[in-house]
């Protein structure tokens, strides 16, 4: 069965510093992978997705993620954090054998001034 | 409509009562998902519809939970004999077809007292 593990339920970075949110997946078939963001009191919004094309995926708001099959990882990065990036981030996986999208438990990103 | 619409946005009900939560997906989207999100957790998969049929209902926690999508558009999640543990935010999402980007509604916050 497919699953997603997000390392670190809370991550704090200084404004202007690199953001790195970790996601590892488990899937017996090639996965589709997603990162969603949830701002306070708002719905989930797609940041970016990997669907077996380029392994480096660029998303909105300067975020990007790299699919590494050998490491079963899909970590999310942003070179320079902004205060507006403070939110909850969810990694999710979906395969062509199982149509449902499975989410990780989420990582809350805190930006320090 | 422009996005996925969920009604009501908030619902408070007494233990043991029956509730219905409605989801109006983006027009033309054939896939529809229901998730439940408890505080501090990621969205937990409940059920997935492809058209009118439930393609995967493996996430429904017990037989008190039921969902329908009779015309392949609007869906209703029904919870019988509600329990305090059912309190959560219920999220609905839709996508053009399976394994494409899912668009989420704002959710219905259900509180069972």
Q: Is the pLDDT of residue A21 over 80?
A: yes
Per the omega criterion (within 30 degrees of 0), is the bond before A54 cis? no
Alpha helices (runs of H) in chain B, residue ranges in sequence order: none
**Cα A55 to the center of its chain, rounded Å:** 14
| Residue B68 pLDDT | 97
One-character DSSP codes across A56-106: EEE-GGG-EEEEEGGGTEEEEEESS--GGG-EEEEEEEEETTEEEEEE---
Q: Looking at residues B48-77, what average pLDDT do you find?
A: 94
In chain A, what residues touch B50 (CB-CB under 8 Å)?
A: 99
Confidence of residue A98 (pLDDT cuts 50, 70, 90): low
User: Which residues of chain B are within 8 Å of residue A102 when distances are taken between CB atoms?
Assistant: 45
Q: Is the pLDDT of residue A36 over 90?
A: yes
Which residue of A89, A97, A99 is the best one to mutate when testing the B interface, meaning the one whose CB has the most B CBs within 10 A?
A: A99
Neighbours of A97 (CB within 10 A): 12
Q: Are strands A31-38 and A44-50 parallel, antiparallel or unpaired?
A: antiparallel
């Amino acid at each position: 069965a497919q699953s997603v593990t997000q390392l670190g339920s809370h991550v704090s970075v200084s404004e202007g510093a690199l953001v790195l949110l970790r996601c590892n997946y488990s899937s017996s078939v090639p996965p589709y992978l997603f990162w969603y963001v949830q701002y306070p009191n708002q719905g989930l919004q797609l940041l970016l997705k990997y669907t077996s094309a380029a392994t480096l995926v660029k998303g909105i708001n300067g975020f990007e993620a790299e699919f590494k099959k050998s490491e079963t990882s899909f970590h999310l990065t942003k070179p320079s954090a902004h205060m507006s990036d403070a939110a909850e981030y969810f990694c999710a996986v979906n395969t062509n054998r199982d149509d449902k999208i499975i989410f990780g438990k989420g990582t809350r990103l805190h930006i320090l001034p | 409509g422009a996005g996925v619409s969920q009604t009501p946005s908030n619902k408070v009900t007494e233990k043991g009562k029956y509730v219905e939560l409605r989801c109006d997906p983006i027009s033309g989207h054939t896939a529809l998902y229901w998730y439940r999100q408890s505080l501090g957790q990621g969205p937990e998969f409940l059920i997935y519809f492809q058209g009118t049929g439930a393609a995967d209902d493996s996430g429904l926690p017990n037989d008190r939970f039921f969902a329908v999508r009779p015309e392949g558009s609007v869906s209703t999640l029904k919870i019988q004999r509600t329990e305090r543990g059912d309190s959560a935010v219920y999220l609905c999402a839709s996508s053009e077809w399976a394994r494409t980007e899912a668009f989420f509604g704002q959710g219905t916050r259900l509180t069972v007292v």
